Structure 1
């Protein structure tokens, strides 16, 4: 896939060379010759990936990477350090700064392009989540990017798939200082464990005896239960072609043997941090979706969702000539509860009321808070007699035992009045059913409350 790649280098010849290579592979290339210029471009959200030289005047590449990864607005942008530095301590310093990879010049073009495409896919997967999570701030949810950028990548759950005991022991000992590690020698058992347990990262040896590590990588990346786990491949230098194939399949990173302990820890930490970043965005999106359709006090659906869903349920009922009934519930004398016991006690009553109503309904029923103490229950495939039975069951459950308030230190009696109406053949819309249910509720309250009234079927 294509992507916008920002190349940062203070040497014009290096810039032109990388720009030409990337352009030939149909990447869109941006360039910068200094750290501050690069940070400004990234803050504007222009690049998908950053290729970063280390040796630059003023602000070196390590510092640029550190600033990008510690800033919520740019922490999601993949960074690959591309440098002539080739010592293990340089590689470790780059990974510790948050880089997603560290490539040493002269570059292997195939490895570079495979890495850029792999990171571009990963970023594309998180961009939509990130945009929606940012939008959730308008709903009052705490900024998810701040929490995600602060993730350390430590205390993860790691599955190590390696069938050579000595190597497995050495890797497990290194990782166990910072993570909870499980070792598996069989690829089929590894898939099963990955599906059953909640791992952050899976490390797969490409040298499994009689087993295909790439096949295992493909299975983990394709299954719904495991596709969000980070996958790191481990192989010999001569396995490079298979490793690059693994990146195409969906592996997130790789390690070449002999594996340096510090590089192992740094790469695993980076991948766990990236996974948790997307997990937080996904959780934030889920929270924003729930806030959009749920009443925050009771956990029932809100008025906005009910209006849309009720119209759909009415149309489906009419199309299929199936029954549809609607209950409108109102807590009796609720204002007196607030006046006598306080609004906190009133909130406790509404929460308990919602639980008792929910306990009397089915999963296919729609239960929504209309506002205040009024709740609507929509019952698909339910005629007037069955709807009355449901309403009476709710009324009895509400009246049957006192409601706890003040943290369950006191109890008060509560009752409910309910109006019931069912769809008629001549109804033009769900508003007709709602009007009859409201009228029935009014009669129930006018007639003494704590009762169920069914609207006339005529």
Structure 2
């Protein structure tokens, strides 16, 4: 434990300071669509992004993702490959065929790192691939890479201006703690 404390002193006193510092190369106020059939992945990715000042929209199915992408026009989409019903490849193809959503950057995510999946991701026009499980650093590295390449920009929106105030977390955005029983279930 002494080693851990020494590392904390060398690299800073805690995560809250690191999270409060602005990320270089990552625009603020992105509207991000997270598409995954796992509520846990949606909650984790949603929390990571909203803590950094981004607006998160969530979809649990491919069909819902296509509808939300067309109506909300997000700046970025994180899209799971393996989903029941319409899989991520079918969603990617549909989004690339639609003129409204054709240019939205898409990062495909999957827990199965197969060479064939990466091949199809590139072939169908995804911008990047991220393997599950992922960490905070990897998520923002993907966003920074897309920003640096010029593929990712914040769109002008008619809605209320984006502020630096933290985004309120609702009960739906709470990350489930599967290791502990729910105290309300007694």
TM bucket (normalised to shorter chain) is 0.5 to 0.7
Report Cα offsets for 1:177-226 as digits up to 9, x if no partner: 22111110121121111111121111110121233110101111121000
SS in 1 for 2:63: helix
SS in 2 for 1:254: strand
Q: Which residue of 2 aligns with 1:402?
A: none
Cα distance 1:278–1:181, how it changes in 2: closer, same or farther (>3 A)?
closer
> Which structure is higher in RCO with an 8 Å CA cutoff and minimum separation 6?
2
Question: Are 1:161 and 1:185, in contact at CA under 8 Å, matched by a contact in 2?
Answer: yes
Question: Are 1:161 and 1:203, in contact at CA under 8 Å, matched by a contact in 2?
Answer: yes
Q: Which residue of 2 aligns with 1:166?
A: 40
Q: Which residue of 2 aligns with 1:155?
A: 29
Aligned positions of 1:107-186 closer than 5 A: 152-178=26-52, 179-186=54-61
Establish whether residue 264 from structure 1 lines up as the match of residue 119 from structure 2: no
SS in 2 for 1:275: coil
Aligned positions of 1:262-341 closer than 5 A: 262-272=137-147, 274-276=150-152
Report Cα offsets for 1:43-74 as digits up to 9, x if no partner: xxxxxxxxxxxxxxxxxxxxxxxxxxxxxxxx
- Aligned mate of 1:231, from 106, 117, 132: 106
Residue 264 of structure 1: CA displacement?
0.7
Q: Which residue of 1 aligns with 2:76?
A: 201
* Structure index of larger Rg: 1
Cα distance 1:231–1:221, how it changes in 2: closer, same or farther (>3 A)?
same
Whole-angstrom distance in 2 between the partners of 1:172 and 1:245? 26
SS in 1 for 2:51: coil
Residue 171 of structure 1: CA displacement?
1.1
Q: Which residue of 2 aligns with 1:255?
A: 130
RMSD: 2.5
Whole-angstrom distance in 2 between the partners of 1:259 and 1:240? 18
TM-score by length of 2: 0.63
SS in 2 for 1:183: strand
SS in 2 for 1:176: helix
Residue 276 of structure 1: CA displacement?
4.4
Report Cα offsets for 1:431-457 as digits up to 9, x if no partner: xxxxxxxxxxxxxxxxxxxxxxxxxxx
Name whichever structure is richer in helix by fraction.
1
Question: Are 2:35 and 2:62, in contact at CA under 8 Å, matched by a contact in 1?
Answer: yes
Cα distance 1:242–1:153, how it changes in 2: closer, same or farther (>3 A)?
same
Aligned length: 132
Whole-angstrom distance in 1 between the partners of 2:133 and 2:83? 16
Instruction: Name stretches of at least 5 consecutive residues in structure 1 with no aligned partner.
Output: 1-95, 98-150, 281-458
Question: Are 1:159 and 1:203, in contact at CA under 8 Å, matched by a contact in 2?
Answer: yes
SS in 1 for 2:151: helix
Name whichever structure is richer in strand by fraction.
1
Instruction: Name stretches of at least 5 consecutive residues in structure 2 with no aligned partner.
Output: 1-22, 157-186
Question: Are 1:161 and 1:187, in contact at CA under 8 Å, matched by a contact in 2?
Answer: yes
Residue 278 of structure 1: CA displacement?
11
Whole-angstrom distance in 2 between the partners of 1:163 and 1:272? 27
Whole-angstrom distance in 1 between the partners of 2:154 and 2:28? 16
